[in-house]
Every structure is written in C-alpha cells, then in structure tokens.
Amino acid sequence: MNDYRSVRVAVLGAGTVGSQVAAVLLERREELARRIGADIELVGVAVRRLDAPRDRELPRELLTTDAESLVLRADIVIELMGGIEPAKSLIERAIDGGADVVTGNKALIAAHGTELFERAERVGAAVYYEAAVAAAIPIIRPLRESLAGDNVTRILAIVNGSTNFILDRMHRFGDSAEAAQATALELGYLEADPTLDVEGYDAAQKAAILASLAFHTEIPADAVYREGITSVTADQVESARQAGYVIKLLAIVEKAVDADGAAGVSVRVYPALLNADHPLASVHGGNNAVFVEAEMAGPLMFYGAGAGGQETASAVLGDTVSAARRHVAGGPGIASSTHAELPVLPIGLVRTRYYITLTVTDRPGVLADVAGVFSRGGVSVQTVRQDVAEGDTAGTATLVIGTHAAGEAALRETVAALADNASVVGVESVLRVEGAE
Amino acid sequence: MNDYRSVRVAVLGAGTVGSQVAAVLLERREELARRIGADIELVGVAVRRLDAPRDRELPRELLTTDAESLVLRADIVIELMGGIEPAKSLIERAIDGGADVVTGNKALIAAHGTELFERAERVGAAVYYEAAVAAAIPIIRPLRESLAGDNVTRILAIVNGSTNFILDRMHRFGDSAEAAQATALELGYLEADPTLDVEGYDAAQKAAILASLAFHTEIPADAVYREGITSVTADQVESARQAGYVIKLLAIVEKAVDADGAAGVSVRVYPALLNADHPLASVHGGNNAVFVEAEMAGPLMFYGAGAGGQETASAVLGDTVSAARRHVAGGPGIASSTHAELPVLPIGLVRTRYYITLTVTDRPGVLADVAGVFSRGGVSVQTVRQDVAEGDTAGTATLVIGTHAAGEAALRETVAALADNASVVGVESVLRVEGAE
C-alpha cells in the first residue's frame, strides 16, 4: 500500500461495538484502503482494563488505558464508550486537535450535539453519528443530506428495539407484560436495569436527534414529552388488536402550530395505537423503522435492525470511511444546521386522537350522559363500541370510544371529567391513535 | 444575503422534474441559503423551445436554448433532459469546466456512469445521481456512504413503479393484464410506449446502477439478464396468490460463485414469486422499495414513491444542496469505486427455485413420470399440488410443482424435458421464487 496516503484512526472503548469495529478495521484493511484511496491505520484502542475479556480479541500492543494521549495521535477518533463523561471531554480534545469524530453515543449527541458540531465547525472538523439512531439503518445521512432540499413535515419512528420486542410479543403471542419483559431480558433485548428502555428515555434521546435534524432546530432530549410502556397491559393490546390496531412505542416529531398559529415543533414519545395496515405496524421483534413524511418526497420508510454489535459497527464503519475519504481529499464535513430555531410546543397543544375504554353502569341514558361529557369538552366522538362482558353480574358495561382529532389539553380535561361522572365506574384505558391522516 | 458566498446553478431541461427543481430553487432561495451557508443563484434553464407549456412557470429571462454556453457559467449543472445525447456531451463539458453535476438520468448513468465519474475525479468534480434510482428514496447515498464499511451480499428491489402498479392491480383487484395496463396508462403510470417499463429495460438500468455501487464493479445495463412482465397472466397471479405468493418484477443483484467457485456477481430482472410475508410483498401501487442485505448490517429496507415530478425533484435538490455545501467548503465529492472488478455471471449459473404449472394427462403413473424428469435433471422437488379442474372432461389434471434451489441451466433443461414428456400436455407457467433463504 505504498502509494496510498495513510489515515490514523483511534477507537475509544472496546465493548461489543468497539471491539467489532477495531477488529474489522484490522481484518479488512486492504479492502477499506481500496474503497477510500488511503490506508486506514488503527493506532490504538482505549480501554478501561487491559486484560478485560472482549467479544473480539485485539492485539495487545494496540490497547491503551491512556485515552487522552491516544486521541491526539489520530486523524479520526471513533468514540464508542457511551455516556457523557469522559466521552465528551475526549471528543472535545480530539476536535480541538483537528480530528474528525465518529460516535454512536446517542445520549451525548442528544444532550450536547449542537455544541460539539459547532466546536468541530470552528476548526474545520466534522462529527458523524449515524450509529446513534437505529443502528445500521441509514437515517442520519438521509435526513442531513438526501432530504436537505426538501421539508420534512413529520416523522413517526420505532427507535427502541427492546420495547418493540415486548409490545410485539404481547400483540402476536398474547404474552402478559411481565412475561414479555422477562423474555426480552432473557434474550438480551433488555439491560438488567430496563428503565432507559421501558420508560422511553432511550427513544426520547433518539427523537430529539431526529427532530433537530428534520427541523434545523436544536432540540434537547429533556424537551421531549415522554411516556414509557410500563402502563400498557395485555388487555389493552388485545382490545386494540380486535379493533384493528397495534400498540407501538412511537417517537413522533412533527411541525405544528401553537394557539396563535405560530410555527413550532412537537416532539413526543408514547405508546400509541397504529392502524394494522400502517407500514410501521408490521415492524416485528427488535427491529426499528423510521417513517418520514416530506413535502416533496412524500412518505419514505427506513427499516432494519435497531441494535446489535455488528449492526452498529456497520454504521460506525460507514461513517469512518466517509470521514477518511474527506480526510484524504480535504474539504468539508457535514455541517450542523440549527438556523430554524423553532419552539418546542408543550404537549397540551398537540392535536391527537384518543381511544378511551370506560367501565360504565349498565342502565339507559348512560351513553347520552357520556356523550355529553365529550361534547362539553369540545371533543368530537368518532366511534363508540359497547360490550357487555359475558357473565357480567355487576350491572356494568364497557364503552370503547374513539375520538376525532382534538387538542391534548381538551382530551385530558375530558378524561378527567369522565372519571368524575356518576355513570362512569372507571376509566380503564386511555391511548392515543397515531399514523392516521 | 450579502455575507454569503454564491453558488451558480444551471438546470438543463424544464420538463416535469426540471421545471419543479428550478421553481423550488427560486422560491426557497433564502431557506436553502441558510442550509448551505451560501446563496444559490439559478443562472439559467436550458430548454428546447422557449415558449413550450411547463408544469411550473419560470421567469422568461432565465430560459435559454443555448445549453452549451449555459453549462460553462455554472458551478453546479443539474441535468434533467434524459437520454444519452445531448445530455452526455453537456455533462462532459460541464465537468471539463470544473462544475459538479447532479443528474437523474438512469440511462446515462447505467451506460456511461464509470466513465463520467472518472472524468469528474480527474478534475476534482463530483457527479451526484440519487434521483436515478427510486426517485426520492435515498438509496444511492446509503450504498455509497452509509454501507461503505460493510459488504452488501444481496439486493432485492422493486424499482419500476409502472409494472408494480400493474402487478398490484392484478393481485389485489383481480384485473386482467390488459385491464391493469390500460388503467396504468390512464392514470399516467405508463408512457404511451410502455416497452421500457413492461419489458424490464428501466428496471435493468437501475439494477446495473445498484449492482455497480454494491459490488464496487462496473456493470453495464446490457450485462443484466432481463425478462419483462408481458408474459404474466391473471391466472398465474391468482394461482400464486392462493399459494401464499405475490408476483413482483424484481431487480436482483447478489454475490455468487461460478462453477469453479470463483467470485462473481449476478444481476437480473424478472417477474418472480415472493412469499406474501416478505417485506417487499406489501409494496403496493406505484411505490418502490429496495431490500438490502449486508454482512454486518443485516437486512435493511428503503421504501417510498418511485416516481413523480415532486418526488424526483426532492432527490435532485438533496444532491444539489450536498454539492453546494461541498462547493462552498471545497473538498471531495463522492468518489467512484470500481476496484473489485467482479465478473457478471451468466444467468445459467444462477441458483434459484422454480414454480412450474403443468397440464398433464389424468391417469395413474403420471406423477411418477413427471418426478422422474426432475430427478434425471438433478432438480429436487419441494412441493407438489394436483388440481383436477371442475367440469374437466378432457381427462387432464393440473400439477403445480415447487422446486428446491437449483442451477438455472438445470431448471431450464428440466422444463424442456417436461415439455417433451408424453404425460405432459402443456407447460402452462414457469416462474422463479425469490426472497426465501
């Protein structure tokens, strides 16, 4: 490879993804050189413990515990440690030294992305982060570049494989929430502490990243309205299934207007009903999919594995090849773009549809009574289904009510008024319906 | 916009896509400038006739019939004329003058892509062509960049919306081939001369482009094995539907080995059976989808509209923004990569599965007779279904035979032997099955 220039690459972190990336950089060195037009030299892999067991064995002489020195010896720094610190400080150090950065760190990008992109832009470096959302599914690059001349209006996305696995088990196999979660844990879809996944924090970070890109606006993860899947029951899933719906944990980002008609952005994560014929409804198991609607392009969908060491490594290596090509030929990285500065609208301003299950007393006049609550709340009813449970002796019935689109605030007030209504024994379930026109 | 640098853009062709692109460049000039960090100045639109009617009205002073002069006044030339000449000469002239080129011209890229990319590389220019395959669906950029560190093993794609519309009508509405084609023509899915679509030429061009990118190998369109949909009948579609299949016109590119085990590439377009639960099976109407399998990333799917002026314009504008960003900051375009130089294998070496419908004489021993033909041909039978048509008085029966995977050459010889067999009245239908393991 004497006629190639050389690009020095450092990998920070040798966990599942990091050790895979480092191993591939070594194994496929010649093939990558041909694709890039330059040799990729792996100058070191920063680890916490030199003798820890790893998924892929790496040459001992490449390992170092001195990440701070390593980042200054590289043209491209691949950060796969995760978490905010020391990842952030090391990335800053790499950028200040003029290196490009490739990272899969969604927490860091969601919290400090704009700051890091601007820091990189000042020195002519670039930050690549395709692996931060939906693993190997190309979604960052399409949003940043392919749709750069179009206007995204809405994204509906399944970006957390663990919760999709759980909800899919419940939907397709009739598992209880507990059983589905136990299976997810057993098969490695969930961490020992599942909070980040099941409470929607992971999806909210990814929603923030997608929204920032789609709307050219800095959107921090804590501005994302978030509900997890812990309240979703097997009964809800079954009832949804019978009505032609699937329950999915959706990350939703869309352009919206506030009460005065001023433009804003809504970014939210919650379990919602999707029509069974929506393209996202057939995303099974631990897979991810991102459904993008743009003004000119119309609806697009990107589908694939949302996690996994190999899959994430594929995205990291794609970014690394891009960064290396740029390094060889000089020139720009992909610039950050937050010029739009749209406000994030509070959840109360979002317009959505509710799907409400009530237990009511089974006597004449109840339906009129309940309908009156919706009417006074300014919420229009689209569908009503009444079930009397078999063998019911308590004198109660079940009402399932689907609303037309209404403001979230009005819907919440209506649900509160239903709970207080004398005809209503209990509000059993409230879910939003998404993905319809 | 005084503090912005300026990028001069010329548009060649003002048809459906060209007039849309030019109009958006004018309408969204300020927003695009913010995204790019530079003003985009539309310096002219080359047309054949100054006074022709257009989808989008354009300022008269921008129109010119002198494309040759126009391309020398631009930093980015957007070619949307279609066809080989004069598009090729104008692009060469633009490249030689140092301009970047954005094109949606699949015929030109399939026939002369590598030549144009190399010409551009010599002068430090770049050629972008996201719009050449599957309109607004980002597939070129993901293959060129996102998967640049991975190895694509196979692509199954629906890349011709017209034929997908026709086959979908036949499958979902029971239309005859003639009725479906008439509807496609009426709704604008087909040109007055439908040959390019229905005979698979359009899909073959796109298959060649995808294969070149996926396998880093120059693959001309005429190296693609091609069958169109003109032989597909309503009976075949219905029989496939009953057996749990959908017939789709597939573009298939995959790594394969020849008889000696040497690596090669198979690139082919034909109508094939897909299992109804394959993700491509639910691609309806005029939509496109590209299903990519890569070593590390696993299966990925990209889905969206495969045609349309607005949709294609979205892809063209995304490329234009990318080219403009690169122009402002200097630096590399996306390089071509054909270093792998894999041979394209002849169709006879491809391994596939056949789904064969035979009319046979209805007497004892026929099944053994037919099975013997398969056995002697070295083709293993997976499924057999025998139907006696209602009210059949001719003493014939229908045999539907699904084979295991076998070489195309062996399968063809077996079908020929079946046609010659005394028990076989007629070979009614032969289709390949794709998308299975």
Sheet holding A100-103, edge to edge: A63-64, A38-46, A5-12, A76-79, A100-103, A127-128
DSSP symbol at B307 = -
Q: For residues B119 and B12, what is the distance between their CA atoms, to the nearest angstrom?
A: 20
Q: Which contiguous run of DSSP H or E holds residue B299?
A: strand B298-305
Query: In Å, how far is A80's CA from the nearest CA of chain B?
Result: 16
User: What is the average per-residue pLDDT within A171-178?
Assistant: 96
Judged against a pLDDT cut of 60, whether residue A436 lies above it is answered with yes
Residue A86: cis peptide before it, omega within 30 degrees of 0: yes
Which residue has 């059983």 as its token pair?
A179
> Residue A103 forms beta bridges with which residues?
A79
Q: Would an 8 Å CB–CB cutoff place B282 in contact with chain A?
A: yes
Q: For residues B37 and A428, what is the distance between their CA atoms, to the nearest angstrom?
A: 53
Q: Would an 8 Å CB–CB cutoff place B398 in contact with chain A?
A: no
Query: In Å, how far is B315's CA from the nearest CA of chain A?
Result: 6
Judged against a pLDDT cut of 60, whether residue B242 lies above it is answered with yes
Which pLDDT does position A295 carry in this prediction?
A: 96
pLDDT in tens, B191-235: 878 999 999 999 999 999 999 999 999 999 999 999 999 999 999
Check if the beta carbon of residue A158 is closer than 8 Å to that of residue A248. Answer: yes
Q: Would an 8 Å CB–CB cutoff place B5 in contact with chain A?
A: no
Which pLDDT does position A333 carry in this prediction?
A: 54
Average pLDDT, chain B: 91
Share above pLDDT 70 across residues of chain A, in percent, rounded to a whole number: 95
User: What is the average per-residue pLDDT within B18-41?
Assistant: 94
Which pLDDT does position B86 carry in this prediction?
A: 96
Which pLDDT does position A263 carry in this prediction?
A: 87
Q: If 0-12 CB within 10 Å is exposed, 13-18 middle and 19+ buried, where does residue A365 land? A: exposed
In chain B, the N- to C-terminal Cα span, in Å, equals 56
User: What is the average per-residue pLDDT within A266-293?
Assistant: 94
Q: Which contiguous run of DSSP H or E holds residue B267?
A: strand B263-275
Q: For residues A368 and A355, what is the distance between their CA atoms, to the nearest angstrom?
A: 18
Q: Would an 8 Å CB–CB cutoff place A298 in contact with chain B?
A: yes
Q: For residues B166 and B229, what is the distance between their CA atoms, to the nearest angstrom?
A: 9
Q: For residues B5 and B2, what is the distance between their CA atoms, to the nearest angstrom?
A: 8
> Residue A254 forms beta bridges with which residues?
A154, A266
Residue A381: φ, ψ to 5°? -90, 135
CA B292 and chain centroid, separation: 13
Is B106 one of the annotated binding-site residues? yes
Share above pLDDT 90 across residues of chain A, in percent, rounded to a whole number: 75
Which pLDDT does position B290 carry in this prediction?
A: 97
Q: Which contiguous run of DSSP H or E holds residue B55?
A: none
- What domains does chain B contain, in order, with CATH numbers? 5-134+310-329 (3.40.50.720), 140-305 (3.30.360.10), 350-434 (3.30.70.260)
CB contact under 8 A, B301 and A301: yes
User: What is the average per-residue pLDDT within A363-386?
Assistant: 91
Which residue in A has a C-alpha nearest to residue B320's C-alpha? Answer: A149
- With contacts defined as CB-CB under 8 Å, which chain B residues touch A7? none
- With contacts defined as CB-CB under 8 Å, which chain B residues touch A287? none
- Choose the most confident range, by mean pLDDT, from A275-284, B17-26, B136-145: B17-26
Query: In Å, how far is B290's CA from the nearest CA of chain A?
Result: 10
Token pair listed for A293: 């609607």
Which residue in B has a C-alpha nearest to residue A307's C-alpha? Answer: B297
Active site residue A255: no
User: What is the average per-residue pLDDT within A187-206?
Assistant: 92
Judged against a pLDDT cut of 80, whether residue A437 lies above it is answered with no
pLDDT in tens, B297-351: 999 999 999 888 999 999 999 999 999 988 887 655 555 566 777 888 888 888 8
Q: Which contiguous run of DSSP H or E holds residue B423?
A: none
User: What is the average per-residue pLDDT within A320-331?
Assistant: 83
CB contact under 8 A, B138 and A146: yes
Q: Would an 8 Å CB–CB cutoff place B175 in contact with chain A?
A: no
Interface of A with B in 114-143 (CB under 8 A): 130, 135-138, 141-142
CB contact under 8 A, A150 and B314: yes
Handedness of CA B229, B235, B240, B242 (dihedral sign): positive
What angle do helix axes A87-96 and A106-123 make, rounded to 10 degrees? 20
Q: For residues A257 and A236, what is the distance between their CA atoms, to the nearest angstrom?
A: 31
Token pair listed for A369: 């009574």
- With contacts defined as CB-CB under 8 Å, which chain A residues touch B316? 149
Q: If 0-12 CB within 10 Å is exposed, 13-18 middle and 19+ buried, where does residue B275 land? A: middle
Interface of B with A in 206-225 (CB under 8 A): 216
Which pLDDT does position B247 carry in this prediction?
A: 96
Which pLDDT does position B291 carry in this prediction?
A: 97
Interface of B with A in 25-84 (CB under 8 A): 28, 32, 34-35, 37
Alpha helix locations (H) across B66-200? Answer: 67-70, 87-96, 106-123, 140-141, 161-173, 177-186, 195-198
pLDDT in tens, A92-130: 999 999 999 999 999 999 999 999 999 998 998 999 999
Query: In Å, how far is A395's CA from the nearest CA of chain B?
Result: 44
Q: Would an 8 Å CB–CB cutoff place B352 in contact with chain A?
A: no
Which residue in A has a C-alpha nearest to residue B17's C-alpha? Answer: A296
Judged against a pLDDT cut of 70, whether residue B65 lies above it is answered with yes
Is B12 one of the annotated binding-site residues? yes
Judged against a pLDDT cut of 90, whether residue A395 lies above it is answered with no
Q: For residues A271 and B192, what is the distance between their CA atoms, to the nearest angstrom?
A: 48
Q: What is the dihedral of CA B313, B319, B320, B325, to 10 degrees?
A: 150
Which pLDDT does position A226 carry in this prediction?
A: 95
- With contacts defined as CB-CB under 8 Å, which chain A residues touch B321? 145, 148-149
Which pLDDT does position B437 carry in this prediction?
A: 57
User: What is the average per-residue pLDDT within A220-233?
Assistant: 94
DSSP symbol at B344 = B
Nearest neighbour of B311 by CB, restricted to A32, A296, A340: A296
How many C-beta neighbours within 10 Å does residue A221 have? 22
Check if the beta carbon of residue A268 is closer than 8 Å to that of residue A210. Answer: no
Residue B402: φ, ψ to 5°? -105, 130
- With contacts defined as CB-CB under 8 Å, which chain A residues touch B40? none
> Residue A399 forms beta bridges with which residues?
A358, A386
Average pLDDT, chain A: 91
At B29, which amino acid appears?
Answer: R
Query: In Å, how far is A293's CA from the nearest CA of chain B?
Result: 10
Pairing type for strands B152-158 and B287-294 reads antiparallel
Please list, in sequence order, all residues whose beta carbon lies within 8 angstroms of the beta carbon of residue A399, skipping any fewer than 6 positions away: A357, A358, A359, A360, A366, A367, A370, A384, A385, A386
CB contact under 8 A, B34 and A141: no
Token pair listed for A220: 């921090």
Residue B6: φ, ψ to 5°? -125, 140
Annotated catalytic residues of B are 206
Q: If 0-12 CB within 10 Å is exposed, 13-18 middle and 19+ buried, where does residue B317 land? A: buried
Check if the beta carbon of residue B397 is closer than 8 Å to that of residue B384. Answer: no
CB contact under 8 A, A149 and B32: yes
CB contact under 8 A, A296 and B314: yes
Share above pLDDT 70 across residues of chain B, in percent, rounded to a whole number: 95
Q: Would an 8 Å CB–CB cutoff place B311 in contact with chain A?
A: yes
Is B13 one of the annotated binding-site residues? yes
The 3-state secondary structure of chain A, one letter per residue: CCCCEEEEEEEECCCHHHHHHHHHHHHCHHHHHHHHCEEEEEEEEECCCCCCCCCCCCCHHHEECCHHHHHHHCCEEEECCCCCCCHHHHHHHHHHCCCEEEECCHHHHHHHHHHHHHHHHHHCCCEECHHHCCCCCCCHHHHHHHCCCCCEEEEEEECCHHHHHHHHHHHHHCCCHHHHHHHHHHCCCCCCCCHHHHCCHHHHHHHHHHHHHHHCCCCCHHHCEECCCCCCCHHHHHHHHHCCEEEEEEEEEEEEECCCCCEEEEEEEEEEEEECCCHHHHCCCCEEEEEEEECCCEEEEEEEECCCHHHHHHHHHHHHHHHHHHHHHCCCCCCCCCCCCCCECCHHHCEEEEEEEEEEECCCCHHHHHHHHHHHCCCCEEEEEEECCCCCCCCEEEEEEEECCEEHHHHHHHHHHHHHCCCEEEEEEEEEEECCC
Check if the beta carbon of residue A322 is closer than 8 Å to that of residue A128. Answer: yes
Residue A346: φ, ψ to 5°? -65, 155
Candidates B314, B320, B325, partner chain A, best to mutate (most A CBs within 10 A):
B314
- With contacts defined as CB-CB under 8 Å, which chain A residues touch B337? 34-35
> Residue A291 forms beta bridges with which residues?
A156, A301
CA distances from A240 to A62, A234, A245, A382, A427 (A): 54, 10, 5, 16, 16
Which pLDDT does position A27 carry in this prediction?
A: 96
Judged against a pLDDT cut of 70, whether residue B392 lies above it is answered with no
Which pLDDT does position A192 carry in this prediction?
A: 79
CB contact under 8 A, B138 and A148: no
- With contacts defined as CB-CB under 8 Å, which chain A residues touch B313? 296
Check if the beta carbon of residue A421 is closer than 8 Å to that of residue A369. Answer: yes
Nearest neighbour of A300 by CB, restricted to B137, B320, B335: B137
Check if the beta carbon of residue A287 is closer than 8 Å to that of residue A161. Answer: yes
Which pLDDT does position B393 carry in this prediction?
A: 65
Q: What is chain A's Cα-based Rg? A: 25
Which pLDDT does position B233 carry in this prediction?
A: 95
Q: If 0-12 CB within 10 Å is exposed, 13-18 middle and 19+ buried, where does residue A264 land? A: middle
Is B99 one of the annotated binding-site residues? no
Q: Would an 8 Å CB–CB cutoff place B279 in contact with chain A?
A: yes
